[in-house]
């Protein structure tokens, strides 16, 4: 009987969860950034070998929500914990001994799935600090260099339940291409702009036509204020052109074909605080107490 199950990657913002998911799947599925809170939604990657399949959920960082978008991010992470067969708890190895997941995530009780702690960014540690820290459930890895990741996978695989594969073995994600296109535009905004602007950005793909060559994509960058719109467009449209060019290059590499990217900027006042706007962008707000 093969093994298969859901593997949830959790941890604080910026510890390297998305980099680890990309490393495991061998494909850039999840956007990564030196800026915290780049992952908003959960990203599903699939890793299949001859006898096991992991459906891997990357999650937004666990944080104390201070506005509705962050509440949605936190409840996404908590739901993914509930669904997990195995949990990879990612921490930054340079920050010393991590608190238990239950404490770090502010959970009332420990999750039922087994937890493997990945001490990430081991490439930044000097060798004398890596001695003796690894145990059966704690492992040093570097998502950046790939060090320790094969070992981590072997340990996760051991704890997966026996089950037929959940998805076809050649699938690497469950999300539609549109999702990745929107994420690549958002990542480009994160790369090119600073301060508050990236956090106020949501991207929606409004038209996606595969029946044309080049592929036609119309996407809208939503911001919260007119002043942010002006920053994104830039003087004589120079900034939006730069965002468009860099985004298009990423989308073409991902799609493997030429792309015409028609990029727009619109203001949706205070969308991060508005439940209607949040659900429009696919961020699920869960009402009531999280478990």
Is 191 a binder of ligand GDP (CB under 6 A)? no
Among 8, 48, 70, 142, indicate the residue that binds ligand GDP (CB under 6 A): 142
Query: Could you tell me if 10 and 42 are in contact, meaning their C-beta atoms sit under 8 angstroms apart?
Result: no
Name which of 42 and 248 has its Cβ closer to Mg ion: 42
- Long-range own/partner contacts, residues 31-39 (CB < 8 A, 24 or more apart): 31/183, 31/184, 31/186, 31/187, 31/190, 32/187, 33/187, 33/190, 33/191, 35/190, 35/198, 36/61, 37/13, 37/61, 37/63, 37/70, 37/73, 37/199, 38/187, 38/190
Name which of 17 and 272 has its Cβ closer to Mg ion: 17
- Partners of 120 in the β-ladder: 92
Binding piece for ligand GDP, criterion CB under 6 A, among 9-17, 186-194, 208-216, 273-281: 9-17
Among 2, 27, 104, 123, indicate the residue that binds ligand GDP (CB under 6 A): 123
Residues in binding contact with ligand GDP, number by CB under 6 A: 21
Looking at residues 24 to 43 of the shown chain, list those that interact with ligand GDP (rule: CB under 6 A).
32-34, 38-39
What character string, x for contact with Mg ion (CB under 5 A) and - otherwise, covers 13-52? ----xx--------------------x-------------
* 16 CB-near residues (< 8 Å, 6+ apart): 32, 90, 92, 120, 121, 143, 144
Looking at residues 58 to 117 of the shown chain, list those that interact with ligand GDP (rule: CB under 6 A).
61
Name which of 10 and 261 has its Cβ closer to ligand GDP: 10
Among 26, 49, 106, 124, indicate the residue that binds ligand GDP (CB under 6 A): 124
Binding piece for ligand GDP, criterion CB under 6 A, among 79-87, 100-108, 141-149, 260-268: 141-149
What character string, x for contact with ligand GDP (CB under 6 A) and - otherwise, covers 48-67? -------------x------
13 binds, among ligand GDP, Mg ion, none (CB under 5 to 8 A by kind): ligand GDP
Name which of 34 and 288 has its Cβ closer to ligand GDP: 34
Ranked by CB distance to ligand GDP, the top (closest) residue is: 16
* Least gap, CB of 222 to Mg ion (angstroms): 20
Among 81, 143, 160, 203, indicate the residue that binds ligand GDP (CB under 6 A): 143
Among 52, 120, 200, 204, indicate the residue that binds ligand GDP (CB under 6 A): 120
Among 5, 16, 45, 111, indicate the residue that binds ligand GDP (CB under 6 A): 16
What does the binding site for Mg ion look like in residue numbers (CB under 5 A)?
Answer: 17-18, 39
What does the binding site for ligand GDP look like in residue numbers (CB under 6 A)?
Answer: 11, 13-19, 32-34, 38-39, 61, 120-121, 123-124, 142-144
């Amino acid at each position: 009987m093969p093994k298969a199950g859901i593997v949830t990657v959790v941890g604080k913002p910026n510890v390297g969860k998305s980099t680890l998911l990309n490393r495991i799947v061998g494909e850039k599925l999840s956007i990564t950034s030196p800026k915290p809170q780049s992952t908003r939604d959960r990203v599903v990657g699939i890793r299949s070998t001859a006898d096991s399949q992991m459906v891997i959920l990357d999650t937004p960082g666990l944080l104390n929500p201070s506005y509705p978008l962050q509440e949605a991010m936190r409840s996404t992470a908590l739901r993914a914990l509930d669904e997990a067969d195995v949990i990879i708890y990612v921490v930054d190895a340079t920050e010393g001994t991590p608190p238990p997941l239950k404490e770090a995530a502010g959970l009332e009780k420990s999750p039922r799935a087994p937890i493997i702690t990945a001490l990430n960014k081991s490439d930044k540690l000097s060798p004398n600090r890596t001695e003796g820290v690894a145990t059966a459930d704690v492992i040093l890895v570097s998502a950046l260099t790939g060090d320790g990741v094969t070992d981590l996978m072997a340990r996760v695989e051991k704890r997966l339940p026996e089950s037929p594969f959940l998805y076809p073995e050649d699938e690497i994600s469950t999300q539609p291409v549109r999702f990745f296109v929107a994420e690549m535009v958002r990542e480009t905004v994160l790369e090119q702009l600073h301060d508050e602007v990236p956090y106020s950005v949501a991207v929606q793909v409004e038209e996606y036509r595969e029946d044309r060559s080049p592929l036609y994509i119309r996407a809208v960058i939503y911001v919260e204020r007119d002043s942010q719109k002006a920053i994104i467009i830039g003087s004589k449209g120079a900034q939006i052109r730069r965002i468009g060019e860099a985004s298009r290059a990423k989308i073409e590499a991902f799609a493997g074909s030429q792309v015409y990217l028609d990029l727009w900027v619109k203001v949706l006042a205070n969308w991060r605080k508005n439940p209607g706007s949040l659900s429009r962008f696919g961020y699920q707000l869960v009402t009531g107490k999280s478990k």
